[in-house]
Amino acid sequence: MKYPFLRKKRWSLIILLTIIGVSCTTDSSSKHNGVKMIIDSVKEAHVPDKRVAIFEIDAEPTKNGYIVKGVTNIPEALEALQTELKKQQIEYIDSTEVLPSKALEGKVRGVIKVSVANLRGRPAHSAEMVTQAIMGTPIKIFQKEGSWYRIQTPDRYLGWVDSGGLALMDKTQFDAWQGSDKLIYTKTFGNSFEKADKASQVVSDLVFGNVLQLTAEKDDFFEVNYADGKQAYVSKSEAVPYQIWKTQLPYSNEALVATSKKMLGVPYLWGGTSAKGVDCSGFTKTVYFMNGMIIPRDASQQVHEGILVDVDGDFSKLAPGDLLFFGRKATDSTLEKATHVGMWLGNNEFIHSAGDVHISSMEPNAENFDEFNHNRYLRTKRLLNEQDEGILYLTEQNVF
């Protein structure tokens, strides 16, 4: 090179610009991480459980600050985020949406119209089934994506259901449905029919706890309407008018035991909460529902309800209907985690869904001794006739 000193200056300039660039990138990255930390902090404070609340918000860097975008159904959480961003003097453009989405055009309520609707973690049939909702369940609707709707059931659980599973309603339609007479199906499995005759055409299958609109009676049948307007007949031997059913609820240990045994042999199904298939907490949830109580969906949620009965494995303290929780015990480095639940029957036995719904024993010498769960026993809670934030009594709440 003719002028070697110019080469030295050129490389010095490149190094300087690189250092400045790295410094700017580091500052920008650090600032973005700071914004992300603010979002995460607000989420942890206001929406600690994504199973029951939505806070899906992110910040995208721009030349002059950030675009804050996403969705939430908790306005207070969004307000807290906005307050903190302003406090930290972070410039941003708000592009968030408070759900329910305006794209729903006011149809933000609905009713499950099939015997059992599968709710998924994402709007796709290939996504994990997170829970189920049975016919007649009133729902809140938050979003629509293609033919899928993001809904919330009375136990506050969230999931996506395809359009075939629900009847969309505006406030007027929903209020009219809620105000109408209802029928609850009390047999484990069955059908409705086109005529007041079991030999006539089947309209649909029915399961434990399905709720329909009651319109009339004909001979040995109830005449009913579905949420989507279909009409059918249901045998009087398999259902009870909802208001009468509520007044007959005994809220007793014996009733819980009797209901649980009606589901013996029902297969285990991850995410299942119906007589077609249940996971462990879906089983206890269904048993309690058929006894007039809505309890939280998962074992890790149910364990926080009711009153503590036992933590030491002293099963003499337990009463039929109490819930036993199993899982990972706390250590110096890990937190306790409830991953399984069953219901106490008495005589050292409990009923639970594992493979199928069956009865196991806590007695080491018993033929049906469940050594695995005995060794990971955590505690027992009593929910029956207890008052707690996560427990709804159908006799006290106008759910249907």
CB under 8 Å to 241, separation ≥6 — which residues? 181, 182, 183, 184, 214, 222
pLDDT digits (tens, 9 = 90+) for 49-107: 999 999 999 999 998 899 999 999 999 999 999 999 999 999 999 999 999 999 999 99
**The pLDDT value given to residue 27:** 56
Nearest to 260 by CA among 140, 86, 384: 384
Please, are residues 382 and 309 in contact by the beta-carbon 8 Å criterion?
Answer: yes
Per-10-residue mean pLDDT for the chain, 400 residues long?
43 40 51 86 95 97 94 97 95 96 97 98 98 98 98 98 98 97 98 98 98 98 97 98 97 98 98 98 98 98 98 97 97 95 98 98 98 98 97 96
Tell how strand 92-98 and strand 65-72 pair up.
Answer: parallel
**The pLDDT value given to residue 271:** 98
Nearest to 183 by CA among 218, 215, 153: 215
**The pLDDT value given to residue 28:** 58
**The pLDDT value given to residue 29:** 64
CA distances 184 to 199, 214, 229, 364, Å, are: 22, 9, 17, 41
Please, are residues 294 and 399 in contact by the beta-carbon 8 Å criterion?
Answer: yes
